[in-house]
Amino acid sequence: MIKAIDKQRYILDFTLSSLWRRKGKNLALVLVYTLVVFILGSVMFFTQALKNEAAVVLRGSPEIIVQKIVAGRHDLIPVSYGSRIGKIRGVNAVKARFWGYYYDPVAKANYTLMVPEDLPLKDQEIVVGAGISRVRRVFRGNSIVFRTYDGKPATFFLKGILSPESELLSSDLILISAPGFASLFGIPPDRATDLTVQVANKKEIPTIAAKIVDALPDTRAITREEILRTYDAVFDWRGGIMIAILAGAVLAFLIFAWDKAAGLSAEEKREIGILKAIGWETADVLQMKFWEGLVISLSSFFLGIILAYFHIFYASATLFEPVLKGWSVLYPHFNLTPFISGYQIAILFFITVIPYTVATIIPSWRAATIDPDAVMRT
């Protein structure tokens, strides 16, 4: 047993010195390998971090949201529906929610307006998200003019700006008072945007949702679980598409790796021939190639992961910004909560190290089966 360990140590020692003797070629390989792990890792970390953020946020969201549907589209809901829902057994509370979208031609951006539950605002007071503040260049105490539903100008005063930590969600958000909301959008007094339902027992949610739709056939009841699942699915789908697109890059990397492994220089061939001639057998040379692959794979793998981690969690995924920004004018500055799991590392391992290893098996074997006889005849 000790003999086996000593033998591996010797072979590893020789492998390291031989990798170093060809450092140009090997550093190039490590660079490309690290880049591949970095990109794939960044995509995975980013997707997972966004999913986690969504989950955290949705924890505070209502168990059921009830919306009125007219001709397949979301319409304003009568507040009176609330009392009908409140009568269903298991429902703790029903609240009316007021929110909507406002298109600002000045910034050519869409804002989300919402009447907050716990924040008392005077009629003309608003609180805006950091993105809006940046785009319209307005700060606390400034005023901002919007056009109401009937074309008249309405002036609002900024009570404050939402904290930068919440930017991911609140960048384009405006908190407004109920009268302000009504005057801006002209909503009839007996209507709300939707109703939120608080349920006592989590397990009852699907049942109660079904009862609501039964009692009020022109509504739909969206449960929190459904939202979570949809977000999860969307993030996965987007992340997965990116990985699938990157498959092309991974394939190019594998061809590169094969080429590097197969392209033994004359000096390398000579060295292996000498090893075979002085008493190393094919299995020993294969062992050396195995260590070579392992050293290169592990260094690139861990370097790539560390760089991806820093990229996503400390540099806010700057490299993805152009892709993610899309139409958005109000791109948030955000810092994602760092999250890394063994499962992600395992998956990254499967899609990088394993294909690399497979690509280098045949070249390694060709190298290991070099005939020592040829060395005798030089």
Which of the residues 322 through 351 are near another protein (CB under 8 A)?
343-344, 346-347, 350-351
Closer residue to another protein, CB minimum distance, 96 or 250: 250
What lies within 8 Å, CB to CB, of 288 at 6+ separation is: 11, 14, 15, 18, 275, 368
Interface with another protein, residue 116, by CB under 8 A: no
Interface with another protein, residue 378, by CB under 8 A: yes
Interface with another protein, residue 139, by CB under 8 A: no
Closer residue to another protein, CB minimum distance, 170 or 364: 364
Interface with another protein, residue 105, by CB under 8 A: no
Binding residue (CB under 8 A) for another protein from 278, 318, 322, 326: 278
Q: How many chain residues interact with another protein (CB under 8 A)?
A: 61
Contact 129, 167 (CB under 8 A): yes
Residue 332 CB coordination number (10 Å): 18
CB of 175 to another protein, least distance (A): 32
**Tokens describing residue 118:** 């716990």
Q: Please give the radius of gyration of the chain, using alpha carbons only, rounded to the nearest integer.
A: 31
CA dihedral defined by 130, 132, 135, 136, rounded to 10 degrees? -120
Binding residue (CB under 8 A) for another protein from 71, 145, 244, 266: 244
Interface with another protein, residue 115, by CB under 8 A: no
CA dihedral defined by 351, 352, 356, 358, rounded to 10 degrees? -20
Interface with another protein, residue 248, by CB under 8 A: no
**Tokens describing residue 54:** 């969504």
Binding residue (CB under 8 A) for another protein from 69, 164, 232, 316: 232
How many angstroms separate the CA atoms of 140 and 67, rounded? 34
Interface with another protein, residue 280, by CB under 8 A: yes
Q: Is 236 left (phi over 0), alpha (psi -120 to 50) or beta?
A: alpha
CB of 346 to another protein, least distance (A): 6
Which of the residues 50 through 79 are near another protein (CB under 8 A)?
none
Q: In one letter, which amino acid is 60?
A: G
Interface with another protein, residue 15, by CB under 8 A: no
Binding residue (CB under 8 A) for another protein from 90, 100, 160, 355: 355
CB of 356 to another protein, least distance (A): 11
What lies within 8 Å, CB to CB, of 162 at 6+ separation is: 127, 128, 129, 130, 170, 173, 175
Phi, psi of 265 (to 5 degrees): -70, 165
Of all helices (H) and strands (E), which one includes residue 84?
helix 81-86
Closer residue to another protein, CB minimum distance, 117 or 267: 267
Binding residue (CB under 8 A) for another protein from 79, 187, 243, 306: 243
Closer residue to another protein, CB minimum distance, 62 or 239: 239
Binding residue (CB under 8 A) for another protein from 213, 222, 274, 295: 274
SS3 67: strand
Query: What are the E-state strand segments in 115-172?
Result: 125-128, 143-147, 153-161
CB of 264 to another protein, least distance (A): 15
Binding residue (CB under 8 A) for another protein from 229, 251, 298, 310: 229
How many angstroms separate the CA atoms of 330 and 121, rounded? 24
CA within 13 Å, CB half, 79: 10
Which of the residues 147 through 206 are near another protein (CB under 8 A)?
206
The site for another protein (CB under 8 A) is made up of 2-7, 10-11, 14, 17, 21, 44, 47, 206, 228-229, 232-233, 236-237, 239-241, 243-244, 267, 270-271, 274-275, 277-284, 286, 343-344, 346-347, 350-351, 354-355, 357-358, 361-362, 364-365, 368-369, 372-373, 375-378
